[in-house]
Structure 1
């Protein structure tokens, strides 16, 4: 092995990468000019990806020989592996930096393992081990060298000696009070290993952060040490000097008015913020809350949320939360008191506003709303007006849901030209490209979901929009799609009946009808079609259509399954309109029309922050704190409606009329850990029920209190609220309309009659109050599991625009430490088995049950828990369906169960093959992201740290693995998207 690697020429190996032209070479050099390699002898050299290709090709040559490695497939494989390694390295240091040669080799090793090249990886590991031994022997033969010279750093243009004591003190302070498992020594050692003489001082602090983050998989509390080191760097950038945490109380107070003044002067902040009592607000900031962040949360805020001037941040975390709070308090009578109240809620992590609110609150263009829903008219002007609206709303960070059902189908007659329509699909291609072209303020990709009803004649082609085969002009690779399914279709599926497709210009009243009224009109149209009076139309078996819907969902992840009738029958606003679609993430169910664009403002309670110790020592829901949090959160959400910037008049008009908001939750899985309740259990279903009942009860109560103070929303009269019908009561209405087919537990624990009487007396401030959004990013900020999701993996890597982050389940590590089971072998096992405990024999069964990952939770439990929540919610919930061992039968049963249990919508289907579920691996799952062309691979195992010992690496290599390309992920996980929250 060694001889082969040493004798193959670099020129031969270099063929692994396509030889660049001079121009391409210059471009590549420019691309990597901010990166360097630190060699073992301390020398610093330019980063050259071609050398990685050489190393990878040498490894293949060593195993396959010269002839075997000369094949085109091997060269392509080496090229791909090299690109994978380079991408991983650059993601770890998105702003440039220095890689130690060992870090590069670790990534090569990991790339070989993840690519399934286990024989090559094993040879590479053994080669590295042999070279290490040779270097050790060489040092032993060499006389003792002179003392290592003092390291110098470059600081503000000056070359000065590195203050090692100061660096060590900083690292020790970052590890303070984080438990016995978090110590400074390995961070110091790894940091020093990555330094070289003359290194910029910023690189020194970056090296410390990178050193700390590699240890997170050893002990999850290292994430807080890493965050504190990052916090030190942020303070240096924002304040222009080093300030330790002990002095931040006084420094925050002095800095805060300066920050507001700078933000206003640079036209970033609304000048109204300068008129607040800034001294009072600055004194209210709590610097100790800077220590709550884990590394992923703080890095995400720093990279994407903090305001900056000429690419230098001007915002610190507590100033950020206060700025958001001030922006939401602009219209309050006692602005300072309310700003402090809102700040307390945000900075404590008890509640978090959605990303658009965090981005824009207090700024000069305060677009704070999350979701916009539109209906597209059936004429050319209406269609392009809708596309223009999409662009304007997307520009300011809005997620979009479009109802395309009114647009006539392919082959339908066009009176104005006496021609035939091209149908919906060509326009959806334009929508797709608009979403790509207009990103959300340069902060994240635009994102849109198109909805179409199941009776639309274009539905079959609509189902195939996300396929990677066929005419690309009739494909939309960058947008989402969803089926808007009437109950009649589901009954026809259940009863194995027929189904007829129509063009909406021939059946215009179907769009606005639902329930029994829809059925009567639809069957009349079917009779006309049978007589040949309606053309074009098409008759087929409902089960055939259902099978194709599920097949496409499994194959492409789209279109999602959502249910029209339950969204309308249970809507409080059915007296003034129809719900024609949901939104981008399927949790919003508001009326739309050609004259109304629905808007929803989101924020989520951190549920795990609302647990307390019960009288028996068991954890339980703290109802009093929950009520207090929700009262303030609902006020914040209601304020958004009046303060919000509306890019489209139809959106403003609609929002002012109905004032809907969407209060959600996150950290549900964290609560189950605290309660010691497995997700796959009746106890978890019961907790989903009682916790959601409490949230909804307090949210509706808070809205009626706001109505008492501020007045009812304009369209209150005639609403279900006005009639004394609460969301829970609408389950009876649904059962009546369906004639059965509703099977939901109807138990309750709170005094809903008291709430009913309160609403009758004071009315409601908001037409809708509750919706469970995905919380993809805001849950990262506060460090909990997203919304109502089960844990995806106990040891995983999250990828977003800030890079890749090792995330490990702190609750699990706590339990394994208690049992004496947490060690390096457990880390390697968790990596190998994708964060799953199931195959690890030494872990007790009760621990495996409690920490079962999403694909180990039987899908029916996810649906049952969602059904219990849905009976209380006036809107819907963003519900991902996880399914191991997916089959047509299982898909059929799952989505029929969702309908029978009264769910309004479902979101992404995430599937894993039975063989993969049996034997999880470190192989990355491919994401079924919004863009199939740019879907980003994400590992469900941690990146290998530079400190990983070679014996463990060799063990990993020898384990068999299979790719998990069938795991389907949503765009939330795509580093280029995070479109919802």
Structure 2
């Protein structure tokens, strides 16, 4: 520590920093748990010395010139060091001791959390002058943001704020101190997350209003209600002048649109949602945001309404849907709608042909598609394998891997406009001669020139391979240049032709081939999936046999997140446009609000269809495909929240049934909305000959898959409740506007904006620190907190227990069993429940779903059973395999350690070995199509 380091005491006085006091405190903490017998232990003295050094090192980050360390800050670091060292019982006792002392001090003061007096601190203005902090305004602001937020206490926020103040700080640092103060209290009550968001909103209003007006302006929530409309018109003109907004937006009736803005919807954000919006979505110039949240939603809505007859009315309709969080467009649409480069599509799928022109053209296409936030799925199966003959040079091929290495580096180089990392996934069929090298691409060992550490990979598995696995039969690998038609075949036709090639290989008619035991290859697939998180397991035949577009081509791969299943090849690069309905907004304790859901889906499908015509296409092959087929991918988020509202545990038959019934509702109304659009705007070009044209809806296509499977290899419920026959007739008569309508994406980012659980994911943890590109955030399950408060169980000890048990309630004796089951975390749920729920959804979906599987203690047998179960249940794809890592979430106090300036890093469960090669639960790499 610096020799002049000072400590700020609770009474406002300062004293010299003394590390010996930390040693004494640590020693007392250990003795309180381990007893006096440990006092003379050499181990204890050595341990205390090491922990003291660790605390002092951590405090060096804050001990700058003129900065006094607050006593609470020092105690936070002591607690953090205990937790990091694995001394959890000692740390828990220390937490409770601190709380008891705090209660005692409050009692001595005669009140709880009395408001602190104005600090003797000056603010440095931009011109260098220093003026006293306007503490009255600070107090008024904090009272305003806490108003109506349950048990939030302005005095607690003010007290925490004082700890972050120092003389000479800037006004921006004061704003940040206020935000940080509120967010450190989130673990006490989730409502502090909304208070933090409102403090950030105050900063954002000042920033945006001043940027647009060209002079210093600010407004509180009451004032902004009056100013939003006027600001909005100025904002649009400002954005056009900067070259950021499409000039056509200035031709809208801005007065009418401004009047439709609801300023109070800014208050719907929690801190994670608004900070994500602030950091990554709101338009800015030279780092200064000039776009407020409601202007952001209206800008997106205007961009999607550009070609509507009454564009103002439609823009208002779209705005209301977005700003209410009932539905949210995917990230590329939110980034770019209404801008001068409206690349709004989420996912692009390509097939790479077996020649150098096609291979290097694919690199260029990947770069152009990724530049404006597209996620990529590349089918590499046609490229000949290692040892295959090259006619042009009479040489032998080096195989697929060197080309994949270049694709990997291209994804790294083009980082989606600086907003997100470039992301691509390579797909390969399981009969390719290079499949075994393909499985090793993400390993941390071996020749690094044959590794792709930054690119995702996926197995494209035919049913014939799974039948060989179940029969413990042999499997033959081929180079695609000698078996060219296998790539385009599926179902029984593939199986018949594949067997013919095996016979030809036995006769010596095929040069490059190798025979392996199918079970051995399957086990290696699962081993690599566990060790590296890749390649994912996806199933070729269900994707094709149930595709509405069988007449127009073949599905050769999925996308970056395994939910898109569209045809690729020739002059077509498949494109999909995504958005997700927030199921949590459409469910009450009594079930689904069908009327609200129907209205949301009708508008949402219209918005997604508009994307196709407005979209900026970076390559012509994408335009060709999108205009011919017009696919969209409507998904959902907030599934876990919907279960909590209905008091349904995830691991139950009721949850599986709700997955079925809710997806049936979404499927029915989305298909009907697309058919109604066809009657209004015309059918998509390739409609004739599709399954739709024959009255075969997604639920009917189950029988096409069942016909190719033995009954013991196809286990799926066929029940339905709605009037599907009437809808079949409507589709046959009016057609469909979109070749594909439904796909469930991960929603990693947009669910953060809306403040709900991701996609169809189970609850991750009840209390943890989430890390993403916007920083580190305390996440508390508000549903659980409300229940624990009602039961009188929410207190400091419960917070400590949740930290100690990694956000799980299972070992907390005083929590009722009903709540333990309702709020069971992902790794406490048997994964077969997730597969069963996904299978019931899949029957209603014309594309696929991003299905993560969680296994707490993986073994070869468990993984084998799980993925065979997924295949038998007719799933088209799976996504990440999540397993518990060697390390866990920090069990430290989150108070005083949350945020980008002072972040507690969370070791989240990965799908990989402890080295962490695979995606974490909220790794930004997985947000590319959200």
The alignment's TM-score, normalised by the length of structure 2, stands at 0.89
Structure 2: gaps spanning 5 or more residues: 13-17, 28-38, 106-116, 211-216, 899-911
Give the aligned partner of residue 656 of structure 1.
Answer: 627
1:874 to 1:943, Cα distance in 2 relative to 1, 3 A: farther
Correspondence 1:415 to 2:391: yes
Q: State the secondary structure of the residue aligned to 1:417.
A: coil
Partner Cα distance (1:430, 1:482) in 2:
17
Which of 747, 765, 772 matches 2:719?
747
Matches within 5 A, 1:345-494: 345-494=321-470
What is the aligned partner in structure 2 of residue 623 from structure 1? Answer: 594
- Tell whether 2:793 aligns with 1:847: no
* 1:324–1:357 CA contact under 8 A, matched in 2: yes
Report whether the alignment pairs 1:555 with 2:505: no
Out of 880, 884, 902, the residue aligned to residue 908 of structure 1 is 880
| Residue equivalent to 1:955 | none
Match of 2:657 among 686, 706, 722: 686
Correspondence 1:40 to 2:8 = yes
The answer for the alignment partner of 1:226 in structure 2 is 196
Selected match of 1:670 from 638, 641, 647: 641
SS of the residue corresponding to residue 352 of structure 1 reads strand
Q: Residue 534 of structure 1: CA displacement?
A: 1.2
- Structure-1 residue corresponding to 2:310: 334
Within 5 A, what are the aligned runs for 1:164-175?
164-175=135-146
Residue 208 of structure 2 is aligned to residue 238 of structure 1: yes
> How far off its partner does 1:159 sit?
2.1
Alignment partner of 2:165 out of 195, 198, 201: 195
Deviation at 1:154?
2.3
Tell me, what secondary structure is at the counterpart of 2:272?
helix
Helix, strand or coil at the partner of 1:793: coil
Match of 1:608 in 2: 584
Give 3-state SS (helix, strand or coil) of 2:757's partner: coil
Instruction: Tell me the distance in 2 between the aligned counterparts of 1:148 and 1:225.
Output: 21
The alignment partner of 1:738 has SS state of: coil
Determine the C-alpha separation between the residues in 2 that align with 1:513 and 1:278: 54
Tell me the secondary structure at the aligned position of residue 907 of structure 1. coil
Displacement of 1:156 after TM fit? 4.1
Deviation at 1:112, TM superposition (A): 3.5
SS state at 2:694 partner:
coil
What are the superposed Cα offsets for residues 705-725 of structure 1, whole Å, 9 maximum, x if unpaired? 000000000000000000111
Q: CA deviation at 1:120?
A: 13
CA shift digits 1:68-115 (9 cap, x unpaired): 89x9xx99x999x9999999x99xxxxxx9895567646744653454
Partner residue, 1:726: 697
CA contact (8 A) 1:152 1:199 kept: yes
Distance in 1 (CA, whole Å) between partners of 2:490 and 2:559 is 19
The Cα offsets for residues 257-298 of structure 1, whole Å up to 9 and x where unpaired, read as 110011000000000101000000001000010110000000
Structure-to-structure mapping, 1:582-601, within 5 angstroms: 582-601=558-577
Which of 250, 272, 281 is the aligned partner of 1:274?
250
8 Å contact 2:612–2:626 — kept in the other structure?
Answer: yes
Change (3 A) 1:594 1:154: same
After superposition, the Cα gap between the structure-2 partners of 1:622 and 1:124, relative to the gap in structure 1 and judged at 3 Å, is closer
CA contact (8 A) 1:38 1:196 kept: no
Written as runs of structure 1 = structure 2, the 5 A alignment for 1:70-109 is: 105=74, 108-109=77-78
Where does residue 735 of structure 1 map in the other structure?
A: 706
Flag the 1:536–1:59 CA change in 2: closer, same or farther, 3 A: farther
Q: CA deviation at 1:757?
A: 0.6
Post-superposition offset of 1:796? 1.2
Matches within 5 A, 1:558-957: 558-612=534-588, 618-740=589-711, 741-912=713-884, 923-924=887-888, 939=889, 944-946=894-896
C-alpha distance in 1, partners of 2:300/2:823?
Answer: 36
1:970: which partner in 2? 919
The DSSP-based 3-state class of the residue aligned with 1:737 is coil
Q: What's the secondary structure of 1:776's corresponding residue? A: coil
Evaluate the alpha carbon distance shift between residue 439 and residue 946 of structure 1 in structure 2; reply closer, same or farther with a 3 A threshold: closer
Secondary structure, aligned partner of 1:973: coil
Shift of the 904–148 alpha-carbon distance from structure 1 to 2, 3 Å rule, reads closer
| Contact 1:793 1:940 (8 Å CA) reproduced | no
Q: Separation in 2 of the partners of 1:705 and 1:271? A: 32
Tell me whether 881-890 or 635-644 shows the greater mean CA deviation. 881-890
**Counterpart-to-counterpart distance in 2, 1:690 and 1:120:** 46
Q: In structure 2, what is the Cα distance between the partners aligned to 1:106 and 1:486? A: 58
How far apart in 2 are the matches of 1:697 and 1:626?
Answer: 11
Q: Distance between the aligned counterparts of 1:688 and 1:356, measured in 2?
A: 28
Partners of 2:187 and 2:633 in 1: how far apart?
36
Residues 240-249 or 889-898, more deviating = 240-249
**Gaps in structure 1 of 5+ consecutive residues:** 1-8, 12-35, 45-50, 91-96, 137-146, 613-617, 917-922, 925-938, 949-962
What is the aligned partner in structure 2 of residue 520 from structure 1?
Answer: 496
Q: Which residue of 2 aligns with 1:928?
A: none
On the 8 A contact 2:70/2:163 being kept in 1, the answer is no
CA distance 1:64–1:594, shift in 2 (3 Å):
farther
Return closer, same or farther for 1:190/1:468 CA change in 2, 3 Å cut-off.
same
Could you give the per-residue CA deviations for residues 152-204 of structure 1, whole angstroms, max 9, x where no partner exists?
A: 2223434222221211111011111111x211111011112221222222222
Aligned length: 873
Say if 1:86 and 1:374 are closer, same or farther in 2 by CA, change over 3 A.
farther
CA deviation profile, 1:806-842 (whole Å, cap 9, x unmatched): 0100100011111111100000000111110001111
8 Å contact kept, 1:154–1:200: yes
**1:83/1:611 Cα in 2 relative to 1: closer, same or farther (>3 Å)?**
farther
**SS of the residue aligned with 1:526?**
helix
Aligned-CA RMSD value: 3.4
Q: Residues of 1 paired with 2:5 and 2:703: CA distance?
A: 68
Q: How many angstroms apart in 2 are the aligned matches of 1:83 and 1:597?
A: 54
Query: What are the superposed Cα offsets for residues 213-240 of structure 1, whole Å, 9 maximum, x if unpaired?
Result: 0110011111111111111011111112
Q: Is the 8 A contact 2:408 2:452 kept in 1?
A: yes
Answer yes or no: is the 8 Å Cα contact 1:308–1:315 preserved in 2. yes
Cα shift at 1:315? 0.2
Distance 1:379 1:99 in 2: 66
Q: Aligned equivalents of 1:897 and 1:751: distance in 2? A: 30
Find the counterpart in structure 2 of residue 20 from structure 1: none
Compute the displacement of 1:38 (Å): 8.8
Partner deviation per Cα, 1:95-148 (whole Å, 9 max, x = no partner)? xx989556764674465345445399979979x99xx99xx9xxxxxxxxxx99
Q: Deviations over 1:471-492 (max 9, x none)?
A: 1111111111000000000011
Instruction: Write the distance in 1 (CA, Å) between the matches of 2:360 and 2:866.
Output: 38
SS at match of 1:604: strand
Provide the residue aligned with 2:176 in structure 1.
Answer: 206
